[in-house]
Amino acid sequence: MSSTTLLRMAARPSALFRANGLQRQIVAAPARVAMLPKSFSSSSRSHSAAVAAKDGEDAGHHEESFEEFTARYEKEFDGVQDVFELQRNLNNAFAYDLVPSPSVITAALKAARRVNDYPTAVRIFEGIKAKVENKGQYEQYLAELKPLREELGVSLKEDLYPETK
């Protein structure tokens, strides 16, 4: 190919895809993903409260208990390596119709500080405030997590931005 042809193709990226047939492959990719063998699709667990009993078992589904949920997310947060994983796990944990236990919040806060993501550590408390039913429950979480907050140096949004009346 001449340099002029390459320059024209670089100016029109869609021409590059059409020229080598990648556009057809990109459109067809989702259909192939949907038809993966069961061993590939069941390798990652669902992030819902009702998960399959174990990988490879077809015995049906069982409800995940609060203790299992807590243990699973403590393990997830202990293995966090980057900010993306931390935020994904937080989104998944807070997506349920329950408030994560203080031990899960502890693991999440430690993970946030480990990956040096202070804003997310502050936002964890905002998530708790949004999930609890009343202010008293939020105060209980704050009281239980106060030593850890002080140890890690995590402030609350209310402390950072006090409302003026």
| pLDDT value at residue 37 | 39
Asked if the model's pLDDT at residue 2 lies above 50, the reply is: yes
Q: Decide if 93 contacts 120 (C-beta within 8 A).
A: no
Neighbours of 149 (CB within 10 A): 17
| pLDDT value at residue 61 | 72
User: What is residue 134's DSSP assignment?
Assistant: S
Question: How many CA atoms lie less than 13 Å away from 11 in the CB half-sphere?
Answer: 6
- pTM, full prediction: 0.61
- pLDDT tens digits for range 16-28: 444 444 444 434 3
Mean pLDDT of 30-54: 40
Place of tokens 């993970």: 111
Position 74 confidence tier, pLDDT thresholds 50, 70, 90 = very high
| pLDDT value at residue 38 | 40
CA separation for the pair 15, 4 (Å, rounded): 14
Position 84 confidence tier, pLDDT thresholds 50, 70, 90 = very high
CATH architecture of structural domain 65-160: Alpha Horseshoe (1.25)
Mean pLDDT of 84-101: 93
Lowest-confidence range among 6-10, 101-105, 113-117, 144-148? 6-10
Could you tell me the residue ranges of all domains in the chain?
3-35, 65-160
